[in-house]
Amino acid sequence: MNRLLPQPLFSLFLWLLWLLLVNSVAPGQVLLGAVLAVALPLLTARFWPDRPRLRHPLKLLRYIAVLLWDIGLANLTVARLILGPTKRLRPGFIHLPLDLEGDFAITLLASTISLTPGTVSSNLSADRKTLLIHALDVEDEAQVIAHIKQRYEAPLREIFE
């Protein structure tokens, strides 16, 4: 089982992805999708030298729900900042010390930061210990860091490490 399906969740994801792409659940497509879902992880196994390990799939679903909600809020916040007076904005760079270690988890965190209110990840330091973030309007740097750590990084750590 493990040799045929090295990444079961990845396979499940690919299978659903295929069914959505063809927009049909005809038996032929279901079968073709299943074949791809088994073949692709096997063929790309070399690209995942340290495979991300999903410890708590249910917590990942919760994380995605929180993320979608925050993306909605982010749009409203940024819309308000964009339409308001630009002179009153206090843009700045923030150095976020990272506790995460896996490549995949760091990528997820960086993407999350870019999609959520007022922040865009700009650079990961060479030693992978700090993430440079640009914020559109910072009032208190420490507060932004604490917020990101508690709302996004802590759940990601629980899920992947």
Partner 1 sequence: MLEILISLFLLIGGIFALIGSIGLARMPDLFMRLHGPTKATTLGVGGILIASVLHFSNRGDGLSLHELLVTLFLFITAPISAYLIARAMLHLRGDKDA
Stretch that binds partner 1, among 54-62, 75-83, 138-146, 149-157 (CB under 8 A): 75-83
Stretch that binds partner 1, among 30-38, 53-61, 86-94, 140-148 (CB under 8 A): 86-94
Binding of residue 26 to partner 1 (CB under 8 A)? no
Q: Of the two residues 1 and 83, which places its CB atom closer to partner 1 in the complex?
A: 83
Cα angle at 12 between 19 and 5, to 5 degrees? 130
Sole residue written with tokens 């340290």:
50
**Burial call 122-157: b when 16+ CB within 10 Å, e when fewer:** eebeeeeeebebbbbbbeeeeebbeebbeebbebbb
Binding of residue 44 to partner 1 (CB under 8 A)? no
Binding of residue 91 to partner 1 (CB under 8 A)? yes
Q: Which of residues 97-156 bind partner 1 (CB under 8 A)?
A: 110-111, 113-115, 117-118, 120-123, 125-126, 130, 132, 134, 136
Binding of residue 17 to partner 1 (CB under 8 A)? yes
| # chain residues binding partner 1, by CB under 8 A | 34
Asked if 143 and 100 count as a contact pair (C-beta separation under 8 A), the reply is no
Tell me how far, at minimum, the Cβ of 96 lies from partner 1, in Å.
13
- Cβ atoms < 10 Å from Cβ of 60: 18
Residues facing residue 120 across a β-bridge:
134
